[in-house]
Amino acid sequence: MARPFLIDTDAGSDDAVAIVMALRHSDVDVRAITVVAGNVPLGQGVVNSLYFAELCAAEAPVYAGADRPLLREYVSADWFHGADGLGDWGDRYQPRTSAASDKHAVDAIVDTVRANPGIVLVTLGPLTNIALALRKAPDIAGLVSRCVIMGGAACTNGNVTPAAEYNIWCDPEAARIVFRSGLAVEMIGWEFSQGDFALSLEDIEAVRGIGTPYADFTIDCNIKGMKGYEIQTGEIGISLPDGVAMAAAIDPSICTAKSHHYVDVECDSELTRGMTVVDKLDLSHDARNAPVWRELNTNPNKPLICWQLDAGRWKELLYQLLR
């Protein structure tokens, strides 16, 4: 029996690849796609998500959720992904027949998790929807077997500030709620989208050579993002952090070094807003730090941090699912 997944997304170009991977995997049953404002505004994210499902001939229902962060002003990432999130191809990626559900994404998350104990939750955008669902129904934290988060940066630099990755920076208060909730969090940081993890020019040529609509879509919708990635890092290639996170969700062994640590999210400092502070050396047990971490120490689960990931195996899985 296929494993039930729930995907929460902000529906940009790397989300597109991740969702296609899940929808095409024979051992994954996507029970719901919930949409949050992030890479693109909520309405565009819903349109994109409907297209992803249509492309894969999947019956996964799509639900619209939060159109802004809990407390912050909404800031999109359209400079990277394009105004439509998919490289500004006009009406090329419009859904033809499908429509989103009338149910709100937060209610869909609560209902889907309760109906599928042990479900795998994969988050690809800001964590606003998940935080709101946890506030409404705290019990769902114990019903999720794995909460794989593409977000944060574990003891390294971010991509929107030197300290923070976009998904966490966009709504740090929501991220703090999620990391403190007791969910079985597995954090796949932005660091696994650079260097060998990005699609090189040779990789791009190999994907083009697959010759399926899924492979062509993977490259075409990320062409603008490729330019953004070069501006951001100086590297040439296609960065797919959400695809990497989905690969780890599908096959946990792709993450080759991981360990549990307390994690908190900085919400008060403008300099380090959205920083994922990982207690890698277990300093929270030091008496000098106990007051700072006391609230976290009540959590039943320490998040699982991925430290090393097999770049070759993630790409092999991607190619397999695009054929």
Residue indicated by tokens 């969700």:
249
Are 41 and 10 within 8 A, CB to CB?
Answer: no
DSSP H helical ranges for 69-200 = 78-81, 105-115, 128-136, 166-170, 172-179
Phi, psi of 186 (to 5 degrees): -125, 115
Neighbours of 251 (CB within 10 A): 16
- The yes-or-no answer on residue 203 being catalytic is no
> From CA 207, how far away is CA 219, in angstroms rounded?
8
* β pairing state of 304-309 and 255-260: antiparallel
Q: For the purposes of burial, counting CB atoms within 10 Å of the CB of 170, is it exposed (0-12), middle (13-18) or buried (19 or more)?
A: buried
Q: Which of 10, 242, 264, 279 is catalytic?
A: 10
With CA atoms as reference, report the closest residue to 159 among 11, 274, 13, 15.
274
> From CA 70, how far away is CA 57, in angstroms rounded?
34
Computed on alpha carbons and rounded to an integer, the radius of gyration of the chain in Å comes to 18
With CA atoms as reference, report the closest residue to 127 among 298, 16, 10, 275.
10
Residues designated as active site: 10
